[in-house]
Amino acid sequence: MSQSSAQQPRVDWTYEEIVLVCNAVVSNGWRAINNAADERVVELSRLLRQGSPVHAAASPKFRNPNGVKRKSNDIATAHPEYNGGQTKGGKTTADVVDAFISHPERMHELANAFRAAITDPEPLPSLPDVDEDATFEEGRTFERRHLARERNADSRRRRIQQARHDLGCVRCEACGFDFEAAYGHRGRDFIECHHRDPLSVTGPRKTALRDLALLCSNCHRMIHRYRPWLTVEELGALVSNGALRTRG
Ligand SMILES: [Zn+2]
Ligand SMILES: [Zn+2]
């Protein structure tokens, strides 16, 4: 099969990268772009390398046109109506293909948002209090930008004020946890903000307070743990079911 050189560590394709290549495959009528010299492949290679500067610096082969071409083939052959050889893409590839089939317009928008997150010259704010662990590894430019926006101190402060005004307290919208009720003064105003619409991170539009959900740290982590991200309501349903389970 493929002659992958042993000294090149394989870097798994991220959800964002697969969405970007799948968007090109869809534009090509769900056919692979089987030419590494094709300008769409060359441009995607440049974009993906720009999105993962650390990997790109480590290897000239990282997401090179040949790799993008192969990925476009994995994606095209993962389509359920594809007749031919076996599909080589993994679960994430299959998930992305399914999503493009069921929500083509939304996925096209998402691809544009991922592209903008890479090419937008606005610098990424530093994220001092974000785990730099496997969940948010280098290369997930879009995800990092999403989380950075959620940490905007000013919109967070205004959202907390709004909750105090409307509800008289600040609590998690998924599980109801109130840090002040649990920890006293030490927990006052301790809450995280979550963008209900991840696409809203792109473009000049200011974050509207109604787009921000207040979440405890656990619920916020759970929403972002796997793709696709859950909605606040979906997570709330999980929490309710969990409470029923543990009650026995
Ligand atoms: Zn919660
Ligand atoms: Zn969030």
Q: What's the 13 CA to ligand 1 centre distance in angstroms?
A: 30
What's the confidence (pLDDT) of residue 42? Answer: 98
Domain assignments of the chain as residue spans, ordered by start: 15-119, 151-247
Which ligand approaches the C-alpha of residue 196 most closely? 2
| Separation of alpha carbons 196 and 214, rounded Å | 10
Residue 33 Cα to ligand 1 middle (Å) = 44
Q: Which ligand is nearest to the CA of 176?
A: 1
pLDDT score of 113: 81
Per-residue pLDDT of the chain (248 residues; tens, 9 = 90+): 444 444 556 888 988 999 999 999 999 999 999 999 999 999 999 999 998 888 899 999 999 999 999 999 999 999 988 877 666 778 889 999 999 999 898 889 889 888 887 887 555 555 545 444 444 444 466 777 777 777 778 888 999 999 999 999 999 999 999 999 999 999 999 999 998 876 654 443 456 788 899 999 999 989 888 777 889 999 999 998 887 777 65
- Closest by Cα among 191, 196, 189, 187 to 223: 196
What's the pLDDT tens digit per position in 159-173?
A: 999 999 999 999 999
The DSSP line for the chain is -----TTS---PPPHHHHHHHHHHHHHTTT-----TTSHHHHHHHHHHHHH-HHHHHH-TTTT-HHHHHHHHHHHHHTSTT--SSPP---HHHHHHHHHHHH-HHHHHHHHHHHHHHHH--SPPPP-TTS--SGGG-TT-HHHHHHHHHHT-HHHHHHHHHHHHHHHSS---TTT---HHHHHGGGGTT--EEEES-GGGGSSSPPPPGGGEEEE-HHHHHHHHHSSSPPPHHHHHHHHHHHHHHHH-
DSSP state letters, 53-70: HHHHHH-TTTT-HHHHHH
Mean pLDDT of the chain: 83
The pLDDT assigned to 211 comes to: 85
d(CA 221, CA 179): 16
Structure token digits, residue 237: 């349903």
Ligand nearest to the CA of 192: 2
* CA 120–ligand 1 middle distance (angstroms): 32
Ligand 1 mean position to 221 CA, how many Å? 9
* pLDDT for residue 147: 74
- Cα 215 to middle of ligand 1, angstroms: 5
Please, are residues 191 and 172 in contact by the beta-carbon 8 Å criterion?
Answer: yes
pLDDT digits (tens, 9 = 90+) for 204-221: 345 678 889 999 999 998
CA distance 44 to 61: 14
